[in-house]
Amino acid sequence: MKAAIRTVTLRGVRLVLLMAASAVLAQSNENVENSAEAANTLTLDGLVTTHMGAGVSEAKVRIDLPDASPIDPPLAQTVTGRRGEVLIEIPRPKAQSLRYRVTAEGFAGAEGTLDISDPNEPPFLDVTLHGAASVWGRITTAGRNTPVSGAQVQMRNGGHRTTVQTGPDGRFRFDSAYAGPALITVTAPGFGTYREQVQIEDDDVKLHIELGPERPVELTLVTNTGRPAADVLVEAVTEPQQIFLMTRADANGKAKLSGVGIDCAGLNLRFNGESYLTMRGYEEHLPLPAKDDRAATATRPAPVEAEFTVTLASRVRGTVTDKQTGKPIRNVRVLAGREVRYDMPMDWSGPGGSYELLGVQPGDVTVTFQHEDYATAFAEIELQAGQTGTLDVALERGVAIGGTVVDDQGQPVDQVRVVADRWNGYETLGLRAITDRDGRFELPHVPPGNIEFTFVRPGYGKPLEIELTAGKTDHVIKLASVDVPRTADAPSDQAKLKVGEPVADLVMIATDGTTYRLSELRGKYVFLDCWASWCRPCIAEIPNVKALHEATKNRPDFVLIGISLDTDAKALKRACDEHGITWPQVVGPKSGAAEAFEELDGVGIPYTCLIGPDGKLEAQHLRGPGMVEEVRKALPSVKSGDAGR
């Protein structure tokens, strides 16, 4: 009986083994078949984008054999998806390469070769499309039709800035222009600067530009001590054209401003230099004589002369050392001022620990020294106008401070912005952190005592201000899970900027390399959207910002710029690709993004604001489905492309 049982068991095992072997053999055959099928199939994927990285949808993609004639049918063809993606599967040809051609309405076609010789290295179709339009024309003197030779013609279109020069016949030409708005600026010696916004709708745009004579403007700049103010940067914005002009004073304080047209009614001016106090806004105004029709054809209208006073600044220089070792400390951030401002005098200590602050306001000056491995230190110095003071500081290690941020259910809250600027009467402590996935934050080196913190997270009500004690790392901070959206009609009572106040001349560099300076955008409405890819309320606002972009994309007087607080540029790109964001984005430590956010709000995102043509704040905290309508109320009506149409 036992033998019978043993025999049956062995047969059963053998049967199971035979069945398993059969299954393995079947699976192996299937894998072989799949491998063979895969080896006989060629997968082509890729992406078709503009030069700014935005996907081009519905672009036609054609694949041909290398020796195919134009009349041969294509090997394969398709159209790109919503984000410009391409996916084609074809039987693998015997050729070692393939030809591709990509066409799309409003773009010049792109052609190239794909290497398919390596079966283990699938080809990727990476195509950037450029504009297809030509913008050309002739520049002449007003009323005379005489060609202007050597004029500099600049076109800003599709994120590009291109400059050409007119020939002896006054002609110029731009190729590869993108459909949409293009800003044409013309400068030539002896003529007023000309600027025109044109809408490129056809493949061929012809312009005839007439230049009027310039009105010479001769400025004399003196210091508050009565001496000539040398090496002053002079910036001007014309009225009503809002054209940005710039020059520099010589050693005698003389500055000639070129390009002022005879139809200019006035100039808004500001003066800056490393020896002078920073002039943030265009605080000086120079009215100009009314336009004289007889001067329209004059070769040289009478010059306008004016004198302005600039205030001498002070300087602070010194050395930063370790208090314990006496060794110099490099990369210390040194700031002058009593409150955090994006344009406060700043320097970084060098290898020898030395620093120098320029453009410091005379009087009692607070200097702040910040380094991640030391406690922030403060020092005071009294300076006279034009004086250079010496201030040496020794830094010491601080104590840690930290804790956990939780919601009203006791659950940790990540991505909370932690800000601490106030300590012991000082407003420039400069501590920043973001809570991790466990709601934790910790700052290893802070000065002793109590520090005033602000905790803010979109979706958790108003910013929470609380005082924490240095030396403790087990603080528990509770945020209420109540989303109280702020709108233009109900702005935060803690807003840094109030509607009607001038906005600082922010400088922002977008991911495509374009530099946006608010002073150069005078005459336009500028909408700034401060956000981050990790901010859920910000993501929820994207459809509203997209609707605004769609409603205003054809307006020549409107600019929409995203200011991202992301620390990972790749995360931002993924978010832009995923959500179809095509407007310019500013991100990164050298882009001006953080400085712009600090100047505008500095507390919570999403934050949006609308800046008017005069550089003043029109509205802020615009959110929700009514965003387009709120912006439309502020904009003048236009014939086409009106916001909210």
What are the tens digits of pLDDT across the range 317-341? 999 999 999 999 999 999 999 987 7
Backbone torsions φ then ψ of 520, nearest 5 degrees:
-80, -10
> Would you say residue 450 lies in a domain?
yes
Percent of the chain past pLDDT 70, that is, above it, reads 89
Question: Is this prediction's pTM over 0.85?
Answer: no
Q: How far apart are CA 552 and CA 628, in angstroms?
A: 9
> Would you say residue 639 lies in a domain?
no
- State yes or no: pLDDT of 23 exceeds 70: no
The average confidence (pLDDT) of the chain is 85
Q: What angle do CA 331, 332, 333 make, to 5 degrees?
A: 110
Q: Which domain holds residue 247?
A: 217-310
What was the pLDDT predicted at 2? Answer: 35
- Distance from chain centroid for Cα 100: 34
Q: Read off the tokens for 221.
A: 């700049």
Nearest one of 480, 407, 395, 514 to 445, comparing CA atoms:
395
Q: Give the single-character DSSP code of 633.
A: H
Residues 200 and 250 in one domain: no
> Residue 220: how many CB atoms within 10 A of its CB?
16
Place of tokens 């607070």: 366
- State yes or no: pLDDT of 640 exceeds 80: no
- 17 SS3 class: helix
Q: Are 560 and 583 in contact (CB under 8 A)?
A: yes
Q: Average pLDDT for residues 259-265, to the nearest whole number?
A: 93
What was the pLDDT predicted at 424? Answer: 93
Q: How far apart are CA 53 and CA 294, in angstroms?
A: 50
Q: Read off the tokens for 4.
A: 């019978």
Place of tokens 């802070």: 446
- Distance from chain centroid for Cα 587: 6
> Would you say residue 14 lies in a domain?
no
| Domain limit, last residue, from 129, 149, 168 | 129
Nearest one of 212, 161, 206, 166 to 183, comparing CA atoms:
161
Give me Rg for the CA atoms of the chain.
32
Q: How far apart are CA 370 and CA 376, in angstroms?
A: 5
Residues 236 and 195 in one domain: no
Residues 6+ apart with CB under 8 A from 57: 80, 81, 82, 83, 84
Residues 513 and 630 in one domain: yes
Residues 512 and 623 in one domain: yes
Which tens digit of pLDDT belongs to each residue from 91-110?
Answer: 988 889 999 999 988 788 89
Q: Mean pLDDT lowest for which of 429-443, 495-509, 599-613, 627-641?
A: 627-641
Q: What angle do CA 150, 134, 82 make, to 5 degrees?
A: 135
Burial class of 165 by CB neighbour count within 10 A (0 to 12, 13 to 18, 19+): exposed
> Would you say residue 511 lies in a domain?
yes
- What is the Cβ-side half-sphere exposure of residue 569, based on CA atoms within 13 angstroms? 11
Which tens digit of pLDDT belongs to each residue from 163-212?
Answer: 999 999 999 999 888 888 888 999 999 999 999 888 888 889 999 999 99
Percent of the chain past pLDDT 90, that is, above it, reads 52
Angle between helices 536-552 and 627-634 (to 10 degrees): 40
Residues 233 and 339 in one domain: no
Which tens digit of pLDDT belongs to each residue from 486-514?
Answer: 433 344 445 678 888 888 888 899 888 88
In this predicted model, which residue has the larger pLDDT, 24 or 305?
305
The CATH number of whichever domain residue 245 belongs to comes to 2.60.40.1120
Which tens digit of pLDDT belongs to each residue from 551-576?
Answer: 888 787 899 999 998 877 888 888 99
What was the pLDDT predicted at 461? Answer: 76
Residues 530 and 425 in one domain: no
What was the pLDDT predicted at 311? Answer: 93
What was the pLDDT predicted at 272? Answer: 92
